[in-house]
Amino acid sequence: MQLNLKTLAERPGLYFPGNGIVTRRDDGSSIRHSYREFDERVRRLSSALASIGVKPGDRVATLIWNNHEHLELYFAVPCAGACLHTANLRLSEEHIAYTINHAGDKALFFSPDLLPLVESIAPRLATVQTYVLLGPDSPDTPLSPLERYDELISRGDQDHVHPDLPEETPAGICFTSATTGNPKGVVYTHRGIYLHSLMLTGIDTMAVSEQDIILPVAPMFHVNSWGVPFAGVWAGADFVMPGTRPTAEVILDLIEANGVTFAYGAVTIGIDMLRELNRKPRDISSLRALMLGGQATPAAVMDYFQREHGVPIFTAWGATETAPVATTVHIKRHQQGLSEADKIAIRVRQGLPAPGIELKVLDAEGHPVPWDDNHVGEALARGPWTAVGYLDDERSAEGFSDGWWKSGDMATVDKEGILRLVDRAKDLIKSGGEWISSVDLENALMAHDGVLEAAVIAMPDEKWLERPIAFVVKTSEAGGNLTETDLIEFLAPDFAKWWLPDRVVFIDAIPKTGVGKFNKRILRNRLAEFI
């Protein structure tokens, strides 16, 4: 029997019909759909896709926040044999258009607040034949043909029977930012999502359960919101969807009001929640865990949530290429007696490979590093849900080797087998959970007449954890006339606003490595001199 998302989609409507999905609407009210309704809506939507020209094998894009419509699309599109590309609305317009074109998406579903964005990129979209707008509005727009989501649902057949699909059928596509150039696409099959979801129900991994009320803070356009929507629907858990642009305030109010048991998102949102709780206390004791990811969680944050609210912080490691969970933190039986501080020292590490994942950390010569928590190597992972290449992309050769994903993350392993990242893919900057490519910024800067060399690195930031800082060597011609403001304005048309460096520092020379590459390590070590 083939591993198929219809198996996941159909279970809660049969066995947990009263559980369901609460979505926060833009006016602050909320709407609830039971799984009985969800099941019906998924069948309607899936059967209606043909009416907008979406056939098995086609791809469908979304530019949507976390809400019930997105969850319906998560199942309706793959169950019809098509493939859901959850486009990342936080990318630059250029990159969003690139990903939609590269995936060859035939339809684009989008949230109403993103209408200006969609109108702006539409002229660049080569394959999109239909736009589908969520919500009740019928705006005046040049997008054409424009369908309304609810009309599509009405048009569909609630008794539609999902076909049995071969398990290797593509079900989803997510793009990951690259150190240079365009984002790279990763395709997830029905089989891969099925296996990843089953793993997430494991008591020693994420323990996704029917007992849960799950609040996904991680966007559904970020590696399928870590795959939890699939696992949660299968388990029959309740969801609380935070809707458009949720703030820490919104998230905390939703946790308190709905008795949320499990919330997860970027480390930065965890820090925002901490600050907001200090400003205005809430009861978040219903949380069995708060899962933070994307980058290392500070021990002080873990300590705060555990001590003040009795909420343990779960962490994990992975990436778009690993669907994403490759490791999860697990306190071993013989470690259960440790003090809370010692457990946090384990929790801030990246953990153990999930069942099904194989991990190796290789030194520069390709040999496994000793498990001494000292020797550093690159972490590689493989498993039945990890990618083995990028979608139609020659960069696959760099990112994968013999079925293994080369993470670019430098790590140690301790004697317990626990992974610890010591240096991420060294040139990327992670701002508020989003990647910024330093190389892209450098190339753009160096396109300016007055710039000789430019190197961009991360500088620490209280809110976003990391922000880009640019080091620039002027040409001899430029002299005193070239200012920081000039360069930011020069970059602005080509990048999302939050990609723009917070600081531009003019220096005499960029330090170089032996082979003539920029030596960013030296810049990082000297960062304190400049900020």
Residues marked as catalytic: 176, 321, 430, 435
- Strands (DSSP E) found in 26-101: 30-34, 59-63, 83-86
Quote the least distance from Cβ 13 to a second copy, whole Å: 10
Give φ, ψ of 477 to 5 degrees. Answer: -65, -40
Give φ, ψ of 14 to 5 degrees. Answer: -80, -45
Dist. CA 320–CA 224, nearest whole Å = 9
- Residue 351's DSSP bridge partners are 419
Quote the least distance from Cβ 201 to a second copy, whole Å: 4
Q: Binding a second copy by CB under 8 A: which of 57, 139, 166, 355?
A: 355
How many Cα atoms within 13 Å fall on the side-chain side of residue 392? 7
224, 212 contact by CB (below 8 A): no
Region binding a second copy by CB under 8 A among candidate stretches 105-113, 350-358, 495-503, 505-513:
350-358
Q: Does residue number 127 form part of the binding site for a second copy (CB under 8 A)?
A: no
Give φ, ψ of 305 to 5 degrees. Answer: -65, -40
Q: Does residue number 417 form part of the binding site for a second copy (CB under 8 A)?
A: yes
Q: Binding a second copy by CB under 8 A: which of 104, 181, 298, 384?
A: 384
Degrees (nearest 5) of the Cα angle 247, 251, 253? Answer: 115
Quote the least distance from Cβ 247 to a second copy, whole Å: 28
Closest CA to 475 of 449, 506, 507: 449
Q: Does residue number 179 form part of the binding site for a second copy (CB under 8 A)?
A: no
Dist. CA 496–CA 248, nearest whole Å = 22
Q: Binding a second copy by CB under 8 A: which of 56, 310, 366, 403?
A: 403
User: Which lies closer to a second copy via its Cβ, residue 254 or residue 354?
Assistant: 354
Strands 404-413 and 377-382: antiparallel
Quote the least distance from Cβ 250 to a second copy, whole Å: 24
User: Which lies closer to a second copy via its Cβ, residue 76 or residue 359?
Assistant: 359
Dist. CA 332–CA 351, nearest whole Å = 10
Q: What residue type is assigned to position 31 of the chain? A: I
Q: Does residue number 412 form part of the binding site for a second copy (CB under 8 A)?
A: no
Q: Does residue number 16 form part of the binding site for a second copy (CB under 8 A)?
A: yes
Considering only residues 183-202, where is the footprint of a second copy by CB under 8 A?
195, 198-199, 201-202
Q: How far is CA 495 from CA 93, 451, 456, 498, in A?
A: 8, 18, 15, 8
Contact characters 495-524, a second copy, x per CB under 8 A: ------------------------------
Q: Does residue number 240 form part of the binding site for a second copy (CB under 8 A)?
A: no
Site size toward a second copy (CB under 8 A) is 43
Query: Which ranges in 329-381 belong to alpha helices (H)?
Result: 340-347
Considering only residues 325-344, where is the footprint of a second copy by CB under 8 A?
330, 332-334, 336
Instruction: Supply 255's token pair.
Output: 């946790």
User: Which lies closer to a second copy via its Cβ, residue 66 or residue 386?
Assistant: 386
Quote the least distance from Cβ 31 to a second copy, whole Å: 20
User: Which lies closer to a second copy via its Cβ, residue 95 or residue 382?
Assistant: 382
User: Which lies closer to a second copy via its Cβ, residue 261 or residue 297?
Assistant: 261
How many CB atoms neighbour CB 41 within 10 A? 21
261, 286 contact by CB (below 8 A): yes
Q: What residue type is assigned to position 155 of the chain? A: R
Region binding a second copy by CB under 8 A among candidate stretches 355-363, 455-463, 465-473, 498-506:
355-363
Q: Does residue number 358 form part of the binding site for a second copy (CB under 8 A)?
A: yes
Q: Binding a second copy by CB under 8 A: which of 383, 450, 468, 501?
A: 383
Instruction: Supply 289's token pair.
Output: 């865990």
Dist. CA 148–CA 131, nearest whole Å = 8
Q: Binding a second copy by CB under 8 A: which of 79, 208, 214, 478?
A: 208
Q: Binding a second copy by CB under 8 A: which of 108, 273, 352, 458?
A: 352
Quote the least distance from Cβ 242 to a second copy, whole Å: 21
Q: Does residue number 235 form part of the binding site for a second copy (CB under 8 A)?
A: yes
DSSP state, 118?
Answer: H
Quote the least distance from Cβ 391 to a second copy, whole Å: 18
Quote the least distance from Cβ 390 to a second copy, whole Å: 17
Q: Does residue number 7 form part of the binding site for a second copy (CB under 8 A)?
A: yes
Q: Does residue number 9 form part of the binding site for a second copy (CB under 8 A)?
A: no
Q: What residue type is assigned to position 172 of the chain? A: G
Dist. CA 8–CA 208, nearest whole Å = 13
Quote the least distance from Cβ 167 to a second copy, whole Å: 9
DSSP state, 481?
Answer: G
Q: Does residue number 414 form part of the binding site for a second copy (CB under 8 A)?
A: no
Dist. CA 430–CA 441, nearest whole Å = 14
Q: Does residue number 209 form part of the binding site for a second copy (CB under 8 A)?
A: yes
Dist. CA 458–CA 355, nearest whole Å = 34
Integer-rounded Cα radius of gyration of the chain: 23
User: Which lies closer to a second copy via its Cβ, residue 18 or residue 56?
Assistant: 18
Q: Does residue number 530 form part of the binding site for a second copy (CB under 8 A)?
A: no
For 317, residues 6+ apart whose C-beta sits below 8 A from its C-beta are 293, 326, 327, 350, 351, 409, 419, 421
Given the rule CB under 8 A, which residues bind a second copy? 1-3, 7-8, 11, 14-16, 18-19, 195, 198-199, 201-204, 207-211, 234-235, 238, 330, 332-334, 336, 352-353, 355-356, 358, 382-384, 386, 403, 416-417
